[in-house]
Each structure stands twice: as C-alpha cells, then as structure tokens.
Amino acid sequence: MLVNPSTDPMTKQFLFLGVAAGMAALSGCHKNADGPEGISAVREMIAQNRTAAEQQFSVNASTGGQLFGAHGTVVTILPNAFRNHNGGNVNGTVTVKLVEAYDVSDMVWLNMRTVAVNGPNRIALQSGGEVALRAEANGQQVTVAAGAALVHFPAQQFDPLMRAFLAEEDEEGDLLWEDVGELDQDTGLAMLDSIGGGGGWMPGNFYTEPWPANTFGNSDWPDFAFMNCDHPLPPGGDSTDVTILLPQGMNDWSTSVWVVLPSINCMVYMEQYTNNGVKAGMPVRIGLQGTVVALRIENGQYYSSFTPITITDGIQQVITLQPTTQAQYQQDLQNL
C-alpha cells in the first residue's frame, strides 16, 4: 500500500544520525556524471510524494504523550523532551511530521531504499520498516533530549536479527543506512495517562529505539531524521551485481530504476549508469525473485516498466518502457 497522509492525531518519532560523508564518497562518482544538471522530473515527483505522505501531529511539549502513525508506528514522548538548537527546553506546541515506508511499494514511491554501508561496500537489507521524522516549534526545527523519546516499530513476529539503522539523504534525496546497534523487543506498550483514558496497555510486537538528540549548537541539522528496523541477509548463498539494460535514448539519469525483492522486503535503487544500462553497484543475493521497476518522465509523458526478474550470476536484464500515467504507475506499484 502506498503511504497516504493521515488526518488522525497520531505520530511517530525517529532517530537520526548522519552518514553524509560515507554517502558522498560512495555516490558522488556517478550521480550526475551522465545525466542532466539539476533534479530530474522523476526526482521532483518523488519529492512531492514525500511531502504528500507526511503525517502531521501536534504535541504539548510540557506534557509529552504518545503519537500513532497510520501504518503502526508509535512514538512515546516524555514531558519536556524537546530541545532547541541551543539545548534549551521547548515550550508550547510542537508539530511532528512523520513519513512511514513499510513495504516495497512505499519504498519505491518515496525512494527509500534498503541498502546499507558496510565499510567501503554496500549491502542489501531485509527491512522491517523505514520512517522519517521532523519536529518543529514556532516554525523552527527542534530535536529531543537523549532518551526522552522512543520510536516503536510494529512487527508481526520478532526477528532476532533486526537492528537499528540510521541515514541522511544526499543531495538527490537518496538514502544509505548505517548500523547503529541493537533494538529492544517489546510485547506491548504502556499507554501514557496524557493520552486519555487513564493509561492502559497496547498489545503487540514492537521494536523500540530512542530518538536521540542532535548536536546542540548546530544550526544545520538535516531536514528529516531517517531510521529503519532492518538487518543484512543471513550468511550463505552467492551474490552478484545486477545490470539493467535500458532502451536506446532512455539510458540516463532521467530514467530511475529500482529492483524490488518482496520476499525480503528489500528495494535496491540502481544508479551506476553505463553505456547501455544501469547497475546496482553492489551484490544482490542470487536466486531471489522480484520486479524491475523503471520510470521516466519526458515532456510530461510517463514511461514505466514492471519486469519480473530472477537474480542469476552476472545477470543483465533487458527491459522496455511503455507509455503510462502517474495514476496507472501508482496502481502498478500497489500491485507489487
């Protein structure tokens, strides 16, 4: 299902740590080498998708409370949790903006891939969900004190391999994740009295991670905090790079290409353009099945491809793009 903005009084909180230096080193060599200057029409659409997907919630900074995302995320905020850039307490109303991506359709629609840095390399992640969070007071971005807010990711059942990953988007809006440690496993959440009803208990499985403070005194905080609940694939099995061969005249950065692997809830964004196609530039597990999704917007006309793929050693998958509409493209994503 594609993320839609929620009008309910719900929210979620998130943790952010930047990995900008690592991302610049890994991605700067190919992003605009063969493509047009500036952002492409597809990237503009993705930016609009993220804005439309924002759920907005109001929180009393003095009392805190709990916020509930439309797709199951819960955020617990303690009283006086929010801080300004100088480290001082924030008073009054705080607006929290939340974006959730829990399945491959949302990951493509919002271009929130599940790929992490691992030293000089990249690895695919099996995802339990991704979120983005921003807090504002009086029109200014604020953060939280360390340990004063918790993000709870819902789970059908616990996976002992799940870990917390954090990311910062680069200039083109792409994410690369960095492993930051263990997640707590909670079977149910205590409901705070400030929510009403005198507290209580919410049954369910949740992974929990704190939303940490940014560095106080830094006026250049990233726009959003990005956090996910993911893990690398277990050891075993061979992997290979994947090359998607694009039609003549469509082999540039204006064509965005993703490989989605629903069996592991994973999305790999293709970004290393060659003379006749685009590569993942990282190993993908051989034997996995999925779909190559491609989108190009040229002079207002949409072109897309939804091509089945089975990852084989050294695969070079040929695809074609057909005229479509944004509405049909969105529907095709929902059907992944």
Please write the tens of the pLDDT for every residue from 80-134. Answer: 999 999 999 999 999 999 999 999 999 999 999 999 998 899 999 999 999 999 9
Is residue 231 within 8 A of residue 125, CB to CB? The reply is: yes
Is residue 165 within 8 A of residue 36, CB to CB? The reply is: no
Q: Report the pLDDT averaged over residues 212-226.
A: 82
Show Cβ contacts of residue 86 under 8 Å, excluding neighbours closer than 6 positions: 216, 217
Instruction: Give the pair of three-digit tokens for residue 305.
Output: 């491809």
DSSP-derived secondary structure for 6-48 = --SS----------HHHHHHHHTTTSSSSS-SS--HHHHHHHH
DSSP-derived secondary structure for 66-111 = EEE-TTS-EEEE-TT-EE-TTSPBP-SEEEEEEEEE-SHHHHHHTT
pLDDT category at 313 given cuts 50, 70, 90 is very high
Sequence length of the chain is 336
Which domains occur in the chain, in start order?
Answer: 20-232 (no CATH), 239-334 (2.60.40)
Pairwise CA distance, residues 270 & 45, whole Å:
17
Q: For 257-266, how does the pLDDT look when each residue is reduced to its tens digit (9 = 90+)?
A: 999 999 999 9
Is residue 157 within 8 A of residue 185, CB to CB? The reply is: no
For position 8, what pLDDT does the model report?
A: 37
Q: For 286-311, how does the pLDDT look when each residue is reduced to its tens digit (9 = 90+)?
A: 999 999 999 999 999 999 999 999 99
Q: What is the dihedral of CA 130, 308, 276, 253, to 10 degrees?
A: -30
Tell which wins on pLDDT, 4 or 74: 74
Pairwise CA distance, residues 18 & 163, whole Å:
17
H-helix or E-strand containing 195? none
- Say whether 53 sits in a helix, a strand or coil: helix
H-helix or E-strand containing 333? helix 326-334
Q: What is the pTM of this model?
A: 0.86
Is residue 13 within 8 A of residue 151, CB to CB? The reply is: yes
* Average pLDDT score, the chain: 87
Show Cβ contacts of residue 145 under 8 Å, excluding neighbours closer than 6 positions: 80, 81, 82, 83, 213
Q: For 16-65, how does the pLDDT look when each residue is reduced to its tens digit (9 = 90+)?
A: 333 333 333 333 334 543 344 457 999 999 999 999 999 999 999 999 99
Pairwise CA distance, residues 14 & 12, whole Å:
7
- Say whether 60 sits in a helix, a strand or coil: strand
Nearest to 230 by CA among 149, 117, 68: 117
Q: For 148-186, how does the pLDDT look when each residue is reduced to its tens digit (9 = 90+)?
A: 999 999 999 999 999 999 998 887 789 999 999 999 999
For position 169, what pLDDT does the model report?
A: 85
Pairwise CA distance, residues 92 & 138, whole Å:
9
Strand order in the sheet with 266-270: 266-270, 255-261, 289-298, 301-310, 322-324
- Say whether 293 sits in a helix, a strand or coil: strand
Is residue 56 within 8 A of residue 69, CB to CB? The reply is: no
Pairwise CA distance, residues 232 & 252, whole Å:
30
Query: At which residue do the structure tokens 């090359």 appear?
Result: 243
- Within 10 angstroms of residue 146's Cβ, the number of other Cβ atoms is 12
- Within 10 angstroms of residue 274's Cβ, the number of other Cβ atoms is 14
Q: Report the pLDDT averaged over residues 323-327.
A: 97
